[in-house]
Amino acid sequence: MAHAGRIKGRLWRLLIRQTIALGLLSASLPADANENPSPEFIARTAVRIESISELPDKLYHKIKNYKVIAVGEMHGTREAPAFILGLLRLLSKKDRPVLLLLEIGTSEQAAINSFLKSGRVEILMKTEFFSRDYQDGRSSRAMADLLAAVRTLRGVEVICMDPSGESVMQARDTRMAANISAAFSKHRNTIAVVLAGNTHSSIARGVAWDKTFRPMGYELHASTGAIFSRQDILAIQNRFVRGKAWVCSPDCKVTDLGPNEDNYAKAVPWAFYFLKESGLVNGYNAAFFSRTINASLPLNRPAAER
The predicted structure's pLDDT at residue 114: 98
Q: Maximum distance among all alpha carbons in the chain?
A: 60
pLDDT of residue 28: 38
Query: What pLDDT band is residue 25 in, cutting at 50, 70 and 90?
Result: very low
- 36 by Cβ neighbours in 10 Å (0-12 / 13-18 / 19+) ranks as middle
More confident residue, 139 or 31: 139
- Number of Cβ within a 10 Å radius of residue 216: 30
Q: Which of 182, 183, 170, 185 is nearest to 218 (CA)?
A: 170
Please count the helices (runs of H) and the strands (runs of E) in the chain.
11, 9
How many structural domains is the chain composed of? 1
CA dihedral 204, 205, 208, 210 (to 10 degrees): 170
DSSP conformation letters of 8-26? HHHHHHHHHHHHHHHHHHH
The amino acid occupying position 77 is T
Look up the CATH number of the domain holding residue 38: 3.40.50.11550
**Of 103, 142, 149, 148, nearest to 293 (Cα)?**
142
Find out whether the peptide bond into 39 is cis, omega within 30 degrees of 0. no
Q: What are phi and psi of 61, to 5 degrees?
A: -70, -15
* Sequence letter at residue 147: L
pLDDT on residue 3: 46
Exposed (0-12), middle (13-18) or buried (19+): which is 201, by Cβ within 10 Å?
Answer: buried
Handedness of CA 108, 112, 113, 118 (dihedral sign): positive
Q: What digits encode the pLDDT tens for the residues 223-279? A: 999 999 999 999 999 999 999 999 998 899 999 999 999 999 999 999 999 999 999
Quote the pLDDT of residue 208: 87
Q: What integer pLDDT is reported at residue 31 of this predicted model?
A: 42
Residue 22 pLDDT > 70, yes or no?
no
Task: Tell me the pLDDT band of 13, cut-offs 50, 70 and 90.
Answer: low
In which domain, by residue range, is 249 found? 2-305
Alpha-helical (H) ranges within the chain are 2-26, 39-45, 57-63, 79-93, 109-118, 121-125, 128-131, 141-150, 169-186, 216-222, 263-266
Write the pLDDT tens digit of every residue in 76-135: 999 999 999 999 999 999 999 999 999 999 999 999 999 999 999 999 999 999 999 889
Q: Which residues contact 110 (CB under 8 A, 6 or more apart)?
A: none
Give the side-chain half-sphere CA count within 13 A for 225: 6
Q: What is the pLDDT of residue 222?
A: 98
State the pLDDT confidence band at 188, using cuts at 50, 70 and 90.
confident
**Distance separating alpha carbons of residues 232 and 228, to the nearest angstrom:** 6
Rg (C-alpha) for the chain, rounded Å, is 18
Give the mean pLDDT of the chain.
90
